[in-house]
Amino acid sequence: MASLTEQIASLQDKKVYEDLHWTGTFDEYLALVREKPEVTRTSWQRMYDMIISYGVSEHVDSKKKITRYNFFDDPRGDGKDAIFGLDIPIMKLVNVIKSAALGYGTEKRVILLHGPVGSSKSTIVRQIKNGLERYTRTDEGAIYTYDWILDEPGRDGEFVPCPMHQDPLQLIPLEWRAEAIKTLGLGEKSGRYRIPVKGELNPACRYRFQELMARYNGDWAKVMKHVRVRRFVFSEQDRVGIGTFQPKDEKNQDSTELTGDINFRLIAEYGSDSDPRAFNFDGEFCVANRGIIEFVEMLKLDVAFLYDLLGATQEHKIKPKKFPQTDIDEVIIGHTNEAEYQRLLNNEFMEALRDRTVKVDIPYITKKSQEVRIYEKDFGPDSDRVRGIHVAPHTLEVAAMWAVMTRLEQPKKHDLALLSKMKLYDGKSLPGYTQDNVRELRKESLREGLDGISPRYVQDKISNALAGEKGGRYINPFIVMNELESGLKHHSLITNDEHREKYRGALTEVKREYEDIVKNEVQRAISADEDAISRLCANYIDNVKAYTQKERVKNPFTGQDEEPDERLMRSIEEKIDIPESRKDDFRREIMNYIGALAIEGKQFDYRTNTRLHRALEAKLFDDQKDTIKLSTLVSNVVDRETQEKIDIVKQRLITNYGYNEESATDVLNYVASIFARGEVRDRK
């Protein structure tokens, strides 16, 4: 029987390990380049190919065609770092990367992700870094570097890696590299990218190359016998291909963190601090060569770092201490918040950086349905965070609704409320507004999504609600809304009382909207008798047909021909705000729709007409609510017949709408109190 260690070892795929640690001669690498020229791609090209390797899709939003990149759904990470509702900013970002990959000029720029706190800037960069790590482990993303094979006394056969993981093709001297690539036919299968020719050896490799060239009297072929080519993979943990720089306080910042520093222990061995073998090429620019370097809060960099950054951006060169300028090939991406960016605009010393920066705005989400997805990821039914606690329907929805409303600018058209604007942005249809109107609304709102409440605040308040209320059994929208409102008093990012009042006002609007949502939901649960709706619909259609064709209707009970029941038709039409002046048009639309279906051999079904379906449900609810006497729920006395009917409604809420016993009871009590208040007002 195999030992436990052997059982674990059997899970390993040794073939994968061997492929990722492939080694070969320089000749074998040239053959590989001839077969797969993409192994020589630049950092920008590799990043762009990595993103599109996950596939793309297109959709139309407000008449604008949007390209959606599946990579940012984080399919490999089960959606843990998925980006929601930012298709347009991400499309702009990928367009910059594509332009750089094709050599149109943006490869000489810094990408600066700019936006408010908590808008997914760091998540986007983290996704790209993780994606590159995975991509270099695939056959499509394979990348190669080289080691020097030593034959020095005491070090014979030892391998010394290229400290900056440069492409082995850079070992071909620059003066005849282009001719060599052409002569060997290495670029014949290069597709849309040409094999890069630029780039000199780093100082350490240049030193060893020149030493060997001198030993072999300039015989380059013999020098290549001292080279071993190997495959490598990016790893942020191992500081290979991915660098991260985070500014510290000004007294502790040192530019050697970016470009490397002298190894004083080796000075005694090599005799000079200008010997490249005594230098550690381990600065963030060095380890990120051929990959990506991330600058966290980039605009907090000290001015001393600015010169290194400018050279790395425009000339693709860095200047290590006591060594000449050294070629690098890497994507430089940073992120910053609004306050730091404003400081950049006002700082005349940063003018050169501004000129070399491509700013991509990463705003907050302005679509409620996308904002909900953020909270569902953390607090949905499949989340470990909830741990069996019931989250009542619409709890996350009202939180998302409020968060989005705080980010929207007040519409310039006075007849449009902020809540209506939010609905339009989310794809809802409102009378009098078209997709062109939505585009105009977006264009006139210059800072929309750059201010407001961050998802983190909402997540914190939902967490508080989960931890503190109802003994940990369940939370509902009111519990969360109370948490959201109480937290505004001490919110560290709200320093303006005007904003605080605006946010409270938005919460009041959300509470009213939630009231309408649950009233409608209870109405549908009460009027969920499909047979009764079908009978009501048939009666309505019979009367509409008779009305439009100026006929009479046969009474099913008396058998007498009667005039169409105008009161019945209007009682249904008024439920969906059809005015008296529009009733004839609406009725003709219904009959034309039925006629068109008949021509196609189809039968009319009220479920296919959303407005009519809603009107029939509302009418049936009005007819039935008095028999159920929902308002008696607010008292302690409920007769047996009413209780049985209420239990049926409650079960429908549980089965059809996702409530549990407790949350369904609370919703019914709440809606009952609304009707009770309405009855009191009516009596007055």
pLDDT digits (tens, 9 = 90+) for 567-625: 888 888 888 888 888 888 888 888 888 888 888 888 888 777 777 877 887 777 777 66
By DSSP bridging, strand 159-161 and strand 110-114 are unpaired
Query: pLDDT by residue (tens digit) across 509-523?
Result: 999 999 988 988 887
CA dihedral 434→439→440→442, nearest 10 degrees, is 130
What pLDDT is stored for residue 679 in this prediction?
A: 45
> What whole-number percentage of the chain has pLDDT above 70?
92
Q: Is the pLDDT of residue 651 over 50?
A: yes
Residue 66, helix vs strand vs coil: strand
> What's CA 112's distance to the chain center, in Å?
17
What pLDDT is stored for residue 677 in this prediction?
A: 63
Higher-pLDDT residue of 187, 426: 426
Higher-pLDDT residue of 150, 251: 150
Higher-pLDDT residue of 650, 234: 234
Please state which of the ranges 102-106, 212-216, 638-642 shows the lowest mean pLDDT: 638-642
Instruction: List alpha helices for 216-302, DSSP H.
Output: 220-223, 256-259, 264-270, 284-287
Find out whether 331 and 312 touch, Cβ atoms under 8 Å.
no
Residue type, 539: N
Q: Which residues contact 366 (CB under 8 A, 6 or more apart)?
A: 85, 404, 407, 408, 422, 425, 448, 449
d(CA 449, CA 409): 9
Find out whether 119 and 363 touch, Cβ atoms under 8 Å.
yes
Superfamily name with CATH number, domain 19-363? P-loop containing nucleotide triphosphate hydrolases (3.40.50.300)
Q: Is the pLDDT of residue 666 over 50?
A: yes
Q: Is the pLDDT of residue 635 over 60?
A: no
d(CA 205, CA 210): 9
- For the chain, what are the domain ranges? 19-363, 368-512, 526-683
- When the pLDDT of each residue in the chain is averaged and rounded to a whole number, the result is 85
Phi-psi region of 562 (alpha: psi -120 to 50; beta: other; left: phi over 0): beta
Place of tokens 């950049």: 344
Structure tokens at 79: 């959606």
Q: Is the pLDDT of residue 469 over 80?
A: no
Residues 158-185 as b/e (b if ≥16 CB within 10 A, e otherwise) read eebebbbbbbbbbbbeeeebeeebeeee
Query: pLDDT by residue (tens digit) across 546-574?
Result: 888 888 887 776 667 888 888 888 888 88
Q: What is the pTM of this model?
A: 0.84
Please state which of the ranges 378-392, 504-518, 616-630 shows the lowest mean pLDDT: 616-630
- Residue 483's H or E segment, with its range, is helix 477-488
Which of 227-236, 405-414, 450-459 tops mean pLDDT?
A: 227-236
What pLDDT is stored for residue 682 in this prediction?
A: 41
Burial class (CB in 10 A: 0-12, 13-18, 19+), 17: exposed
Q: Helices then strands (H, E): number in the chain?
A: 28, 19
d(CA 348, CA 354): 10
Report which DSSP code applies to 452. Answer: S
d(CA 77, CA 126): 12
Find out whether 142 and 233 touch, Cβ atoms under 8 Å.
no
Q: Could you tell me the pLDDT band of residue 646, with boundaries at 50, 70 and 90? A: confident
Find out whether 149 and 157 touch, Cβ atoms under 8 Å.
yes
Query: pLDDT by residue (tens digit) across 171-211?
Result: 999 999 989 988 888 766 556 788 888 899 999 999 999 99
Contacts for 478-484: CB closer than 8 Å, 24+ residues apart? 479/395, 480/395, 480/398, 480/399, 481/398, 481/399, 481/402, 481/507, 481/510, 481/511, 481/514, 484/399, 484/402, 484/458
> What's CA 57's distance to the chain center, in Å?
15
Find out whether 373 and 86 touch, Cβ atoms under 8 Å.
no
Find out whether 167 and 177 touch, Cβ atoms under 8 Å.
no
Q: Is the pLDDT of residue 384 over 60?
A: yes
Residue type, 448: E
d(CA 239, CA 256): 16
Extended beta strands in 382-463, E state: 390-391
Residue 247, helix vs strand vs coil: coil
CA dihedral 301→304→306→311, nearest 10 degrees, is -140
Q: Is the pLDDT of residue 684 over 50?
A: no
What pLDDT is stored for residue 190 in this prediction?
A: 59
Q: Is the pLDDT of residue 93 over 90?
A: yes
In this structure, the number of other CB atoms found within 10 A of the CB of residue 410 comes to 12
Per DSSP, what are the bridge partners of residue 261? 280
What pLDDT is stored for residue 253 in this prediction?
A: 66
Higher-pLDDT residue of 482, 615: 482
Query: pLDDT by residue (tens digit) across 256-268?
Result: 888 888 888 888 7
Structure tokens at 421: 């604007």
